[in-house]
Amino acid sequence: MRRLISLALPATVCLTLACATLPSTASPKAKAKPVAQKQATAVRFGPTYATHDDAMQFADEVAARRNLDRDWVRATIGGARMLPNVPRLMLPAAKGTPKNWNAYRARFIDPVRIAAGVRFWRDNADTLARAEAEFGVPAEIIVGIIGVETIYGRNMGSFRVIDALSTLAFDFPQAHPRAAERQAFFRDELESFLSMESRTHEDPMRPLGSYAGAMGMPQFMPSSLAKYAVDFDGDGKIDLVNDTADVIGSVANYFKAFGWKRGMPSTFPVRFDEARLQKAILLAPDILPTFGADSFVAAGAVLDGDSANYKGLLALIELQNGADAPTYVAGTQNFYVITRYNWSSYYAMSVLDLGREVKTSMEQ
C-alpha cells in the first residue's frame, strides 16, 4: 500500500510514518545504483550559528511549536555553518541582462542528457506507465523534470542541507527585492527539515542537496517532500535519492496535487494576426491562463487545427531570444502546473522539450 506523508502544517497535519523520509545515506533496498554524494571540498564556510542570537531564538521557537527536544534543535542549528557564497546566488540577475531562450534551452537539451533520459525511461518503463495511469501525468513530463533537475540523479547537490537552509534563513541577502518574504520561506523550510529529521531519527548533518536546500533526484524542498513524496513501491519508506519508483511517483503526485489535467496538452503553437494584435493585453497576465479561445483570438492570436477548438483557458507565453525575435506559444493549465515546480516559463519549456526529445529517441 502506498503511503503519503505530510509535515506541512503542524497544527493540522502530523507525521504518521516515522521511517518515511529522504534518507541521509543509501537505502538498504535501493532501486537504483546509489549515487555517491560528498561535501564539495571547494565550498567555503563561515562561522557556525551557535553564537548567532537570532538563530538560537528561532531554535527555541521551533522546539516549542513542533514539540521537539530544545537541546537537539539548538545543537543542530548551532552546528550549521554559514556558506558565504550562497546568499549572492539568490540575487536576481542584474537589470538589463537579456533573456535568451535558445541559450537557456541548450543548457538542458543536449545529447548527454537525452541519452541518460532514454536509459532512465527504459530502466523504469513499467513504473512510469503505472504513475501515468494513477496520476495522469505522462511519462515524458516526469522524465523531463528529473532530467532537467539532476540529470537522473547525477547531480543532486553537494551542500549540506542544514548549512544551506540555515544560511538562507538567517543571512538571506537584504539586497534582494523580496528579501523578507524569501527569508521567511527558508525559515519555514528549515523548520520542516528539522521536524522531519527529528521524527525519523536521521542525522540532520548528513543530507546533501542544492545551495537552496533541495534534495534528491527531483530536488524537493523539505516541505514539498513532506507534502508530496510517496512510497510508490510500498516498501515502507520514501527514498528520493536511490529509489526511482519513489522518485517517479512523487513527481507525478506533485503535479496532480497542483491541478494537472489528464490528457490536456501543455502548449499549442500560436501565430499573430498583426492587424488585430493586442500583444500587451495578451502578455499582461504573464503565464497564468486567463483567456478563453475566443478572447485569445479576438486579441490577435491565431490558433490552428485542434487548438482552435480548445475549451480551456490559455496564456500567451513569450520566450525572449536576446537580440533575436522572441518565441511564442499558447500555454494551457498544464503548462502553468509545470511552472509550480519552478516559477519560470523557460524552465517549463525545457522540461517539455527534454521529455519530447527523449520520447522521440525512444521511438527511433
Helix extents (H) in the chain:
53-66, 70-79, 86-89, 101-108, 111-123, 125-135, 139-150, 161-170, 179-200, 222-228, 244-257, 279-283, 293-298, 333-338, 345-363
- Cα of first residue to Cα of last residue in the chain, in angstroms, is 36
Please give the Cα distance from 17 to 8 (Å, whole number): 14
Q: Other C-beta atoms within 10 Å of 257: how many?
A: 15
State CA 46 to chain mean position distance: 28
CA 129, 130, 131 angle in degrees (round to 5)?
90
149 in catalytic set: yes
Residue partners of 233: CB distance under 8 A and separation at least 6: 31, 127, 243, 245, 246, 249
Any idea which residue has 506507465 for its cell?
129
Residue partners of 113: CB distance under 8 A and separation at least 6: 147, 151, 354
Cβ atoms of 200 and 18 within 8 Å: the answer is: yes
Instruction: Please tell me which residue in 61, 134, 140, 149 is annotated as part of the active site.
Output: 149
Nearest one of 167, 244, 160 to 202, comparing CA atoms: 160
Q: Other C-beta atoms within 10 Å of 18: how many?
A: 13
Nearest one of 250, 268, 286 to 334, comparing CA atoms: 268
The residues annotated as belonging to the active site are: 149
